[in-house]
Structure 1
Amino acid sequence: MLTSFSTLLLFGCLTGLTTVLFGFGGGFVTVPVVYGVLTATAPAGTDAMHVAVATSAAVMVVNAAAAALAQWRAGRLRRAYVWPLAAFIVIGAAAGSLVATLVDGTALRLLFAAYLLVTIADSALRKGFLSLPRHTRPKPLGRGITTLGGMGIGLVAGGLGVGGSVMTVPLLRRRGLAMAEATAMANPLSVPVAVAGTLVYALAPTAPAGTGQFGYIDLTAAAALLTGSLPTIAMARRVTARVPDRVHSTVYVALLVVVLIVMVGTGA
């Protein structure tokens, strides 16, 4: 138990770093880590994937809110790119989380891996993410992107417990924003996804009763992750603007590749 807590604490620090630098909110780190820990330590029959996704959503509520506050104080948030997009994201997130509680855990893990693969390919192969043309001016979000796009982001992110950064960062990047700004905006946009997902998973009628759980949420795992992530968020916010834009975008894609490898490996 102590080893598992220490492992989660360590990865909680990584979660805090990726929340500030990449807007992940924790999902792409916490889902495979919690899934791996539960697979190795939990009793047979534990629904590890659903618990991992639910715990990730709960951790993201705190992480994304803390990082959004830090980004706001640093003056990196632009209201036009946050609202009303966030309102449509929360609608999709509620629907996605509800559907996810009815999907088999293995299918959910495969969807998670497939989603990562598509995102990596899109970011690496399609122009406009790894680097921006010189003198690029940010473009506003259109009505279609704000409404249908927002609900689509929420649907996928809420269902997979990964926040919205993997969709909002490429979206805002291709609207002409620097990585520091795009990842900063991902934090407040992840909050509605996390809140909707947490409520659905906590109150899901299909959740098994268990000590230390609130619905599907593993409270011990969440506490360990937050113990590591919150101090890291406070320290990491000072270095975001110092990372070169091309390095920032390249490392973002590289981290997605690492998470995909880990996720496939833990499910082998």
Structure 2
Amino acid sequence: MDVVILIGVGLLTGVTTVLFGFGGGFVAVPVVVWADAALGPDAMRVATATSALVMVVNAGFATAVTPARVLAALRGSGMLLFLLALGGWAGAVATRLAPAGLARWAFIGYVTVTIGDVLLRPGFLRPRVLHEADPATARSLPAVVGAPVGAIAAFLGVGGSVMTVPAMRRAGHTMHTATALANPLTLAIALPATVVALSGAALPVAADVPVRLVGLIDLRAASALLLGALPVIAVLRRRPPRIPDRTYAWAYVGLLATVSVGMVCAS
């Protein structure tokens, strides 16, 4: 039954990868915490590590099928991508060292703060200028934000889109472009985080606990999530739904709220 539910959630991660730039992290983390609840406080560590692997595959696939015209907005962002990767490595290391319960409540707190930010601070729900014709004409993210964004994202297992999408909205990108660009940025963070998660000794797991880990990653959960996600990404990238920009932005806020509630319920 757990596997069936994970595949079903994988379908949802495919939708969120394409529509919201969430490579799976915000949806995958709560459900892996639930599926691996037998691990106790360590379930959050496993969830963030498993989420990183899911995001590498989902975000990599979504990036590969994104039009070059959209990806052109990241031209000249090599330093930003490098610093995101460096931050992703640091955040993944911190996950191994931090108290087991810290990341869970930090996850809930950060999502809550983000919801307040996008609702109260101008520029997300109604940007002043939208560069719809040519995404490359909008401002890019400053490289200096790369390391902190990468570190926070990897520590929480969220991939960074919850920070990069609002920032790119305020830089003048439509929701369609901002969420599409979130995938290559997520890939830069999740790749080193996955390497860290796979390296080192696995967590000790009691013989009666039905969870088998490679490093910190639950490969069964990751495989089930990807089995559901990848076909959805392929279909939605080929035929993306037409959603009005403002409705799109409100849907993003609604998803953040839903995930926050889900994480509290899983606690």
Same fold (TM over 0.5): yes
Q: Tell me what 1:12 maps to.
A: 10
**CA–CA distance in structure 1, aligned partners of residues 260 and 54 of structure 2:** 20
**Which string of whole-angstrom CA distances, capped at 9 and with x for unpartnered residues, describes residues 192-219 of structure 1?**
2111111111114473368732101001
Which letter maps to 2:140? L
**Which string of whole-angstrom CA distances, capped at 9 and with x for unpartnered residues, describes residues 70-93 of structure 1?**
1136x3222337533211100111
Which letter maps to 1:121? G
1:76 aligns with 2:74: no
User: 1:92·1:151 contact (CA, 8 Å) conserved in 2?
Assistant: yes
**CA–CA distance in structure 2, aligned partners of residues 215 and 150 of structure 1:** 26
Q: Tell me what 1:122 maps to.
A: 117
> Offset of 1:46 from its aligned partner?
6.7
**CA–CA distance in structure 1, aligned partners of residues 78 and 249 of structure 2:** 24
Alignment partner of 1:203 out of 185, 188, 199: 199
SS in 1 for 2:222: helix
Alignment partner of 1:190 out of 174, 186, 193: 186
Task: Give the root-mean-square deviation of aligned CA atoms.
Answer: 2.0
Q: Tell me what 1:132 maps to.
A: 127
User: 2:77·2:143 contact (CA, 8 Å) conserved in 1?
Assistant: no
Matches within 5 A, 1:37-116: 37-39=35-37, 42=38, 45=40, 47-72=42-67, 75-77=69-71, 78-80=73-75, 82-116=77-111
**Which string of whole-angstrom CA distances, capped at 9 and with x for unpartnered residues, describes residues 127-183 of structure 1?**
1001222566954237xx312x01111010011111010111011111011111111
SS in 2 for 1:194: helix
Number of corresponding residues:
258
Cα distance, 1:224–1:84 mapped onto 2, change above 3 Å: same
SS in 2 for 1:132: coil
1:156 aligns with 2:155: no
Q: Tell me what 2:20 maps to.
A: 22
SS in 2 for 1:207: coil
Larger displacement relative to structure 2 (237-246 or 111-120): 237-246
1:228 aligns with 2:228: yes
Q: Tell me what 1:180 maps to.
A: 176
User: 1:130·1:249 contact (CA, 8 Å) conserved in 2?
Assistant: yes
The answer for unaligned runs of 5 or more in structure 2 is none
Q: Tell me what 2:245 maps to.
A: 245
**CA–CA distance in structure 1, aligned partners of residues 82 and 75 of structure 2:** 13
**CA–CA distance in structure 2, aligned partners of residues 135 and 94 of structure 1:** 33
The answer for unaligned runs of 5 or more in structure 1 is none
User: 1:202·1:217 contact (CA, 8 Å) conserved in 2?
Assistant: yes
**CA–CA distance in structure 2, aligned partners of residues 64 and 200 of structure 1:** 18
User: Alignment identity in percent?
Assistant: 44
Which letter maps to 1:89? L
**CA–CA distance in structure 1, aligned partners of residues 191 and 148 of structure 2:** 17
Q: Tell me what 1:146 maps to.
A: 143
SS in 2 for 1:163: coil
**Which string of whole-angstrom CA distances, capped at 9 and with x for unpartnered residues, describes residues 54-82 of structure 1?**
10001111000000111136x32223375
TM-score (norm 2): 0.90
**CA–CA distance in structure 1, aligned partners of residues 143 and 111 of structure 2:** 23
SS in 2 for 1:84: helix
> Offset of 1:243 from its aligned partner?
1.4
